[in-house]
Structure 1
Amino acid sequence: MPFIFYNHKIIIRITLFFLLGSAFAVHKGHAQLPVDFRTEQVFLTTDKTDYNVDDTIHIEGVLTSLSHAHSDPYSRVLYVELIDASTDSVVIRRKLMCNEKGLFKAAIIPDADAGKGDYFLRSYTNLMRNFNPDSFPLRHITIGKPTTPDDGIIDEDIHCMVAPMGRHLIPDIPQQITAVLTSSLGYPRANQTLVLVSSAGDTLELRETSPSGYAIFNFIPRRDENYKLLFSAMGVNKAFQVPETDSYAFRIAGAINGSKLRFAIEGNAPDNRRIFSFDRSNGLSEISTSSVEGVTTLAHAPTGPVTLFLTDNKLNLLSQTTLLPKVEFNSGIIVADTLKANQTLDLVPAGTKLDSMKILSRFIPVSQPSIPVAEYELAASDFESPLPFPVRSFSTSEASTDFQAWLGEGTFRRFDLAEAVKSDCDVYSYMPEQIMTISGIVYDDVNAKHPMKGGRLVAYNGTNRLVTDTCVDKKGRFTVEVDFFKDGTEFFLQGINSKGVLIGGVINIDDTTYPAVGRLPKVTEGKKRNAFKSTDSIGVTGDTRILPNVVVKARAIRTEKRNDKKYYGARYLDQDHFEKYSSLTVLDALRRLAFARVLLVMDDDNEPENGTENLPYYIVQSTRLPSTLPSISAQLPIVVDGVLMDIKDCQYIFDMPTMQVESIEQLTPAEALMYTSNNLYGAILIKTKLLGPKPPKAAKGLRCWPPGLTDMPPLLQRTVSAPEKPGNYRLVVDMVSGDGKVRSVSRHVHVAP
């Protein structure tokens, strides 16, 4: 019986040990622990997939850990980016906070001049950055250019991808090939018959395609014989070539049953080989054996995909395969076939504690595509497969078969095996963000040549007026922990040397780095294929492009006002502007805004209270969209010193002298999100000179605006409501159990008035 040996390097930074807790406890019965290379996983959903250019993208999701029997996240902060597929660039980045169970939600408003086309939402945490950014989950959406719907047509442009398991067709031993039948627009063709025939004309097997267009064939190919898949329907007759057999090829295969892992090297097994296995429950371990096949027992029964790696002695990867274990999961959600509009549903399975289950649910019209977020992203994040993901099979009897076929052709990509074996826990250079920090270097001179040796640094939060401080080391470096704060919060930083003297030198704030945008997946559904090739034979000559290991730098701290004269002349007014145009009151200044107008209105429809008469009052409207009536249709909310005001309660602000005002700014809808959800046209932000005690005199410190949170986490919700609009829907539910198991289910329901 083969033995499992675990990597011998278990020296870990003490900070990582405490952050990841029991991740590195020694398991009974093993001399040393496998390196589990644990990370986190983001499951993200959107309210739809096709958006108009003026739509708001509503996202909701859950952050979990990827470790044995544990799903609560280590991080409290995550990042969501909107990536333009046409330029491979991040156009919007949001920093979000999740609750202790990992739940989060946010709204993203694309720029008005955003290009029409394909976009991706990418999400990740700081801890996830220790691994390949290509493994960050991506969610495809369109803006201003909806996906071409499936016309259901079968014509001469029908296409078939044919892939042997392990990318080699080895003769004279049982083999499996996967065929995926799609239309010219990339949509799967279900319930179609494919026939496997030999070059001698023998019919070997018939298979009907699944809802995702998959058909799985099992046969024993013969040496020097060719094979084809025949298709005939709607007057279309096609033959799709199966890859040729390779007598010199080999591959690793396996099966998993509970904690029993069976492996076998098929074909011409290489000498001087090594075999490794990896799954999130057991980590990375080496199977020590000289046999080409065998069975070994893992410490824990895997709850997710298990990958087998075959390498040479120098850890060069020769072959790999991924197995899908059977996992018991209580997904017994009972939903009636017909629901009333706005009916409240309890989606927690019977006998399951609410605290032990994280649930994402949504009603999707049957005319729109849906995707199983949990099962899809658990696989698609760590693996890359040349086959299209079987999204339409996830709630059918073919689900596990299609999913296993997709994984069988997949390539593990979270980390490089050779680097992982050599590096062990040294791979962790990014820690989970459980708090928010500001870091940098303090210099005691204006030329930034002499770091301040020792002393302290004080950080003053201009919004809540809280003061925090930290020590400065002998190299001038500091990291100050601050409370969670929203984007746009101003901080005042002041260095104090070891003698208690305020330092007027330079404070350099660290830049923030963000992961580079790697190779985006190809969008196939709704996209016209080139008609010159009807078959893709997937073999060993796959896509081997390698991306450079680079990061993208972005300035973390804004330390001075924006200097775009066009922007400020139109949207931003300060003391210089007040003096230049003789604006004596806030009302005078507001009338200088280019994209807003001030109106005096009266509520004619409301009855006077207590015998008093209705009085006119001022409102501010946006002029960016047509609005000819003095109504609240384009009214801009007013925010004073970060507080959203009722328009009738803040009439005094219009008469306030501008000498008491620091600035007036017309916020864009995206900027206004941090103050109010009623931000269709933006908001007016007024900063006065009267907010709280003044910080230490700014002559010696630094004012800065670190990147803060876009939105705060939602409460853990147990229920969901049916749509208000009657019709036929799919209720898609993604569940993550307390021990990290995932399951996606779908139910067809009719919503009645």
Structure 2
Amino acid sequence: MKNLFLSFMAVLASVSSLYAQLPDDYRSEQIYLSPLQASVMPGDSIDVEGIVTSLAGDNIRPYSRYLYVELIGEADSALVRSKVACDSLGHFSLRVPTDPLDRKGIYWLRAYTSLMRNFNPASFALQPVALGTTLPTDDGIIDSNASLSLFPVGNVLSSGRPQNVVAYLSSGQGFPLGNKKLTLTDADGKVITDAITSPSGLATLSFLPAAGQTYTVTFSDKGVVKKQTLTAGDGTTPKVEGSITGNRIAFHLEGVPHGGRLMVYDRANGLSEAAISDATGSMTLPVAPETATLFLTDADGTVLASTSMAASTASAPLSFSVPSSIAAGSPLEISGLPNDSMSIVFTRILPADDLMSGHAESAIKYLSDFASPIPFPQRYFTSDARTRAEDLAAWMSTASFKRFSPGTVLHESPNQVYAYLPERFMEITGQVFRSRENPFRGGRIVAYNASTDCVYDTVIGPDGRFAIAVDNFPQGTEFFLQPINDKGQPSRSEVKIDDTTFPTAMIDRAHLPADSRYLAADVSIGKGSSLDPHLLADVVVKAVVKSEPKSTEQFYATRYKDREDIETKGYQSLRDIIRDMPFLRMERVNNGWVLATTRSAYSLSRGGTLIPVLIDGTLFEPDEYASMIDMPASEIESVEHLTPTQAIAYTSRSINGVLNIKTRNRGTSQPAPIKGTIVTPMGLDTDAVADVATIAPTRPGRYRVAVDVVDASGHIRSAEKWIDVK
């Protein structure tokens, strides 16, 4: 119980620290999911590793010690839901089962913590997995299904000042088209500028638009022509542009309404407001941000326009070495990676055309807070530093901040924003009633873990509510809950366990390949829902409660000695029998004897390990044990160490069970009816992934070695290198 108290104080300290940052911090957690296989067959398990972080200020380690991982089907239904523990660094692993009858197609792993539920579910971790199908390969075909998209920085093309327009070019399969020329012309067909797409299909076109003029961006290759047009505005539409240089953010505003406000959010500094004295200005933040979002709002905080940006100086790419080629099926050797105990490293070998596998750097630093109509640069992690910086800046200018709306959080108190606190320990919560609508007041409630014999208790509040902190337990564990009144007597009161709620799933499948010519007839990727996930009601899972406990005779067989055992083993006295029973011992205390157990959460100094003794239904006190201990074995019919659940029927002093002795030719006591409640709360998925070497695929070909590192300093970096499997 001391450890539980310390854990409780630790979580209070962490929550106090979290609240101390409010109301301008709005920190959350982020999760990276790393499936070890790009594709599995129905009926196989999906082996997953991952990490939970909390990027805020100088912090990176998570507040939470538990997360939820779900397997989402094509109809946005959760087929599997697991609760998983992570270590102090945030690392976790699990095996997600699939059903042999599951339909082939693209499924999704979704993960979140309790703390993350305070914000838009769109910020939860998402990772697609292929079930029973192979990933599409790039056929290199450029046809009429190719796509060209344009995104003016700030979402509006302004006139009279230099503008940047981001273009994204992809094939009909969804693969980026790199090294392709894009041309921008005016209404008369005059070429103003051009650009070459990066390996990720991104290009930025810079020019000076004229008010009211229409401009066209054209892609032409092998007879395929794609065009998109843009018209410059007149400056009345609300718009905000910005850039980051160190800890200084420069901005330019258009269409500012009366009473308009300018806010900026970044993880390092929280939510700030800048004074608007002119259309162009700047603000200096205490800490240099990596990314930031500017919000132009009305007087009430309703967002009218926004823009997201990345710092102009990106961090150095992760450096490591792998051989240029490797034999099929052989272990991969990687050098140059950290090997200290405070760093987490993920390694995978991915197919050359795999567009679905994520990376820690993009998932944690960018995709957890930002959403874009185009995918994160798909060749980002195989590009050089300059291309990475240009692609990141281009993608960020197309993205919008998705985790929360300033107008919403500014009108809420910290307690309203953070309705869900981090889960630092397992607990059972509920309410006790003496009768319908009459809460149980005063007293305590005791929880017995039927699998481990550990005992936990807590006070019952004036409204009958309780929250019992318990040690980690696996899924399927049963607990016996017994209310005890302020006189120490078991009470036949109704115990209602809180139902568990989960956020509704809604998956955006926009970036998955959808052309039927690239998918088998029996493969589906699903369409999902078009509703706002933040507005959907939670899924409620009813608590599992049993009115009667199941038999535990088989589990406790080693704690029972009958007449046959006594005669077979030749016991001479009760002392001999107790010595041969597991987890029991006789101890001399103050010139007397006590019976104690070696399995208890309580200390002997507070009497927590002591076990009452019942002989033919009569309860013996410790000062009577001296005359009892040498009782001849010939007079004993049976000796049984009852479980706490069984013992509560005889005495309220049964937190560690009761030693029930029946003598020969005597009447036997009949236990009173059970007064408590058996519950099965949601436990942990303990089927972790074994730590094994990264093995090369058995099929020869061109692959990518993907590495993610979250190091001891809190840096999150990912990179890829090409490798040939022979």
| TM tier relative to shorter chain | 0.7 to 0.9
SS at structure 2 position matched to 1:479: strand
- Alignment partner of 2:273 out of 283, 286, 293: 286
* 1:606-685 mapped onto 2 (5 Å cutoff): none
Task: Give the Cα separation in 1 of the matches to 2:222 and 2:351.
Answer: 29
Structure 1 residues 528 and 343, CA gap change in structure 2 (3 angstroms): closer
- Alignment partner of 2:450 out of 462, 466, 472: 462
- Alignment partner of 1:19 out of 14, 18, 22: 14
CA contact (8 A) 1:345 1:722 kept: no
Larger relative CO (CA 8 A, sep 6+): 1 or 2?
1
CA contact (8 A) 1:465 1:692 kept: no
Task: Give the Cα separation in 2 of the matches to 1:361 and 1:495.
Answer: 50
Aligned partner of 2:592 in structure 1 is none
CA contact (8 A) 2:432 2:496 kept: yes
Task: Give the Cα separation in 2 of the matches to 1:177 and 1:724.
Answer: 41
Aligned partner of 2:409 in structure 1 is 420
Count of equivalent residues: 589
Indicate yes or no: 2:323 matched with 1:336: yes
Task: Give the Cα separation in 2 of the matches to 1:461 and 1:546.
Answer: 37
Cα RMSD (Å) of the superposition? Answer: 3.1
Indicate yes or no: 2:721 matched with 1:747: yes
CA contact (8 A) 2:119 2:403 kept: yes
Task: Give the Cα separation in 1 of the matches to 2:168 and 2:641.
Answer: 64
CA contact (8 A) 2:242 2:251 kept: yes
Task: Give the Cα separation in 2 of the matches to 1:143 and 1:339.
Answer: 27
Aligned partner of 2:70 in structure 1 is 81
Q: Alpha-carbon deviation of 1:282? A: 0.6
Q: Alpha-carbon deviation of 1:525? A: 2.4
- Alignment partner of 1:440 out of 417, 426, 430: 430
Aligned partner of 1:275 in structure 2 is 262
Aligned partner of 2:375 in structure 1 is 388
Aligned partner of 1:69 in structure 2 is 58
Worse overlay, 14-23 or 395-404 = 14-23
Task: Give the Cα separation in 2 of the matches to 1:18 and 1:573.
Answer: 42
Indicate yes or no: 2:314 matched with 1:319: no
- Alignment partner of 1:220 out of 195, 208, 226: 208
CA contact (8 A) 1:372 1:744 kept: no
- Alignment partner of 2:198 out of 202, 210, 213: 210
Task: Give the Cα separation in 2 of the matches to 1:40 and 1:139.
Answer: 17
Q: Alpha-carbon deviation of 1:348? A: 5.8
Aligned partner of 1:597 in structure 2 is none
Read off the aligned partner of 1:731 and give its amino acid letter.
V
Task: Give the Cα separation in 2 of the matches to 1:373 and 1:467.
Answer: 43
CA contact (8 A) 2:122 2:533 kept: no
Q: Alpha-carbon deviation of 1:34? A: 6.6
CA contact (8 A) 1:260 1:297 kept: yes
* 1:115-154 mapped onto 2 (5 Å cutoff): 115-154=103-142
Task: Give the Cα separation in 2 of the matches to 1:323 and 1:705.
Answer: 48
- Alignment partner of 2:643 out of 689, 693, 699: 693
Read off the aligned partner of 1:693 and give its amino acid letter.
T
- Alignment partner of 2:345 out of 334, 359, 375: 359
Q: Alpha-carbon deviation of 1:452? A: 1.2
SS at structure 2 position matched to 1:166: coil
Aligned partner of 1:497 in structure 2 is 485
Q: Alpha-carbon deviation of 1:364? A: 1.6
Aligned partner of 1:629 in structure 2 is none
SS at structure 2 position matched to 1:406: helix
SS at structure 2 position matched to 1:376: helix
Aligned partner of 2:420 in structure 1 is 430
- Alignment partner of 1:401 out of 362, 383, 390: 390
- Alignment partner of 2:36 out of 19, 27, 47: 47
Greater gyration radius = 2
Indicate yes or no: 2:182 matched with 1:194: yes
Task: Give the Cα separation in 2 of the matches to 1:185 and 1:132.
Answer: 30
Q: Could you give the per-residue CA deviations for residues 553-587 of structure 1, whole angstroms, max 9, x where no partner exists?
A: 1123343799xxxxxxxxx9999xxxxxxxxxxxx
Task: Give the Cα separation in 2 of the matches to 1:333 and 1:200.
Answer: 51
Aligned partner of 1:258 in structure 2 is 246
Q: Alpha-carbon deviation of 1:511? A: 0.4
Structure 1 residues 256 and 720, CA gap change in structure 2 (3 angstroms): farther
Task: Give the Cα separation in 1 of the matches to 2:142 and 2:208.
Answer: 31
SS at structure 2 position matched to 1:391: coil
- Alignment partner of 1:516 out of 480, 504, 514: 504
Identity of aligned residues (%): 33
Q: Alpha-carbon deviation of 1:366? A: 2.5
* 1:360-379 mapped onto 2 (5 Å cutoff): 360-369=346-355, 371-378=357-364, 379=366
Structure 1 residues 160 and 388, CA gap change in structure 2 (3 angstroms): same
CA contact (8 A) 1:275 1:286 kept: yes
Structure 1 residues 720 and 243, CA gap change in structure 2 (3 angstroms): farther
SS at structure 1 position matched to 2:394: helix
Aligned partner of 1:452 in structure 2 is 440
Indicate yes or no: 2:526 matched with 1:552: no
Task: Give the Cα separation in 2 of the matches to 1:107 and 1:152.
Answer: 35
Q: Alpha-carbon deviation of 1:469? A: 0.7
Task: Give the Cα separation in 1 of the matches to 2:47 and 2:409.
Answer: 37
Read off the aligned partner of 1:450 and give its amino acid letter.
N
Aligned partner of 1:36 in structure 2 is 25
Q: Alpha-carbon deviation of 1:70? A: 1.7
Q: Alpha-carbon deviation of 1:176? A: 1.1
SS at structure 2 position matched to 1:401: helix
Task: Give the Cα separation in 1 of the matches to 2:12 and 2:552.
Answer: 50
Task: Give the Cα separation in 1 of the matches to 2:317 and 2:151.
Answer: 34
Unaligned 5+ residue runs, structure 2?
Answer: 1-8, 519-529, 554-639, 650-672
Worse overlay, 329-338 or 133-142 = 329-338
* 1:137-176 mapped onto 2 (5 Å cutoff): 137-176=125-164
Aligned partner of 2:526 in structure 1 is none
Q: Could you give the per-residue CA deviations for residues 124-152 of structure 1, whole angstroms, max 9, x where no partner exists?
A: 00111111112112112232344443321
Structure 1 residues 24 and 498, CA gap change in structure 2 (3 angstroms): closer
TM-score, length of structure 2 as denominator length: 0.75
CA contact (8 A) 1:281 1:300 kept: yes
